[in-house]
Chains A and B, each alone.
Chain A
Amino acid sequence: GAGVSQSPSNKVTEKGKDVELRCDPISGHTALYWYRQSLGQGLEFLIYFQGNSAPDKSGLPSDRFSAERTGGSVSTLTIQRTQQEDSAVYLCASSLGLAGISYNEQFFGPGTRLTVL
């Protein structure tokens, strides 16, 4: 596609339920990132994929959060047993992920707004 897409755009769920957020990166981009943007906060790094592997999971806030990427393309972020503090906008970004280049620009999707009641 032309850009990074995310679905759903909005998700309202009840506390304790599981949710899945989806990210479709730009075709050909090998690197994929998940961030969380809480009200009044900056972007919090969650996890980074290079291909299907996740060399950096350091930002996942708890073991309720997990992410996977299959086929080097689509990624799913899963939050189990959601809590009210999980309410935020979850942003996905992708980049070419080329090794040896000083910087790979990240392109962001529009985000998924998650509200936990």
Chain B
Amino acid sequence: AQSVTQLDSQVPVFEEAPVELRCNYSSSVSVYLFWYVQYPNQGLQLLLKYLSGSTLVKGINGFEAEFNKSQTSFHLRKPSVHISDTAEYFCAVNDSTSYDKVIFGPGTSLSVIP
């Protein structure tokens, strides 16, 4: 069975500092990987996705993530965060045999401190 782990439930970081949100997954088949962001009192929004090809994917708002198959990781990074990046971030996976079912991690709450 697939699962997604986000080890850091809360990450405080100062404005303009870099940040990395960690995500590890378990799956026995090829996967598609995603990061979603949920701003306060809003629905989830797709930040970026890895389907195939280059392991470094770029998303909206200056975020990027790198797929590492050997480490089964898909960590999210941003070189310089802004106050507006304060949100909940969810890593998610679906396997290539079940395109429409997505398994989400527990989420990481990013707080940007002015």
Contact = CB atoms under 8 A, between A and B. Distances in A.
Contacts of A102: 32, 51-52, 96, 99
A105 to B, nearest CB: 6
A44 B94 CA distance: 13
B4 to A, nearest CB: 7
B95 to A, nearest CB: 11
B100 A110 contact: no
A104 interface: yes
Contacts of A43: 44, 90, 92, 104
**Chain B interface mostly helix, strand, loop or mixed?**
loop
Interface of B: 4, 6, 9, 32, 36, 41-46, 49, 51-52, 90, 92, 94, 96, 99-107
B44 A103 contact: no
A97 interface: yes
A105 B46 contact: yes
B43 A108 contact: yes
- Of the candidates B51, B96, B100, B103, the one having the most CB atoms from chain A within 10 angstroms of its own CB is B100
Nearest to A44: B104
A48 B9 CA distance: 28
A102 B106 CA distance: 25
A111 B43 contact: yes
Closest 7 CB pairs of A and B: A108-B43, A43-B104, A42-B106, A108-B44, A42-B104, A110-B43, A42-B105
B101 A48 contact: yes
24 contacts: A4-B43, A41-B106, A42-B4, A42-B90, A43-B90, A45-B101, A45-B102, A45-B103, A45-B104, A56-B101, A93-B44, A95-B100, A101-B99, A102-B32, A102-B52, A102-B99, A103-B51, A103-B94, A103-B99, A104-B99, A108-B45, A110-B42, A110-B43, A111-B43
